[in-house]
Structure 1
């Protein structure tokens, strides 16, 4: 049974998705929320197999909403389900670690396919999103490694490069040590580096430390 949570501020849409999920024997809706804070309250109690998340909510949107949820549930499998065109958000949210991106104009069958794939620890990438990701990879050579980081990753990067310990960063940013460790792993991977010493050398080389 795939346990699913739905976070969307439109009650009619949540009801429609729940109705559709109930028609599948392998799906079970275990929670719903209309806000980021509501989503945080849900995932604090239980991590679903898939979190269906809209990108525009009353108390947060876009990358900020994803970051706030990941701070309490770092490895949560997120499927973005939004009315925004893929070219507006898809590349950035995949950098944030989401597992899939679907436009609300998709077919119900495509939603089911995405849920099943993500629940099996996979990623769901439509052809349109795949094309956008490929285009972005071709442009990466024009950017420095640290420019690929999210805002929160950049903050953690500079603190690590300055010699701060994970516990100190956690206290300073109001995060758990585990969450800081997750950010560290993610930013090292994005930057193609392997250690805190590498981060310090990179920051000094590029004039990022004063």
Structure 2
């Protein structure tokens, strides 16, 4: 039986997903978690085939958790199920190790298709993601600067945009203050901004911060 884990900080969302998936023959719920830390603790006790991951988690963000999963649990397939539309995060998440990306507004059939696709070791691309990828490949539209950031750059960027200091970020990500400062300088250049305040403005303008 295909075992699916649900990681989302909203209990009502987890309940809806659990009910939806449990009704399907051949799919079971391995565990549920409301935070990244809880998800990692559960993974030590209970294996899963596919992990449904929300990006807006308390504490360790979904971006942080994705990086940790790729380092410690490389065999787990990760399907990002986010409230953010594809234009904001999808391509960056796929580049940084996610096996698929879906908006929470998706229908039941699409969710089941995505779960089964990534469980088979393939990437799942929604129709909107396919359009974005085609535009990028064919030159029909330049990707937003934040979509080109590396996984670590995206982690640092989101924390800076939330107002965290260089020292706090270094402690959270196990990086030296000097290294975080280097990432900060690189981000300012790549995003075309001049200060942390402008980084935050960029994040808000592009809908990259959780409500």
TM-score range, shorter chain: 0.5 to 0.7
2:29 corresponds in structure 1 to: 29
SS in 2 for 1:135: helix
Is the radius of gyration larger for structure 1 or structure 2?
1
1:138 deviates by 5.0
C-alpha distance in 2, partners of 1:150/1:20? Answer: 31
1:111 deviates by 0.4
2:151 corresponds in structure 1 to: 150
1:136 corresponds in structure 2 to: 136
C-alpha distance in 2, partners of 1:76/1:30? Answer: 12
Cα distance per residue 1:89-109 (max 9 Å; x no partner): 001100111111110111011
Q: Judge conservation of contact 2:114–2:124 (CA < 8 Å) in 1.
A: yes
Alpha carbons of 1:61 and 1:148: their partners in 2 closer, same or farther (altered >3 Å)? closer
1:11-26 equivalences under 5 Å are 11-26=11-26
For structure 2, list consecutive stretches of 5 or more residues without a partner in the other structure.
Answer: 154-173, 176-211
C-alpha distance in 2, partners of 1:98/1:46? Answer: 20
1:60 corresponds in structure 2 to: 60
Q: Judge conservation of contact 2:50–2:76 (CA < 8 Å) in 1.
A: yes
2:159 corresponds in structure 1 to: none
How many residues of Structure 1 are paired with residues of Structure 2 in the alignment?
Answer: 151
Give the TM-score normalised by structure 2.
0.64
C-alpha RMSD over aligned residues: 2.6
1:88 deviates by 0.6
Once superposed, which parts of structure 1, at least 4 consecutive aligned residues long, lie more than 4 Å away?
A: none
Alpha carbons of 1:137 and 1:61: their partners in 2 closer, same or farther (altered >3 Å)? farther
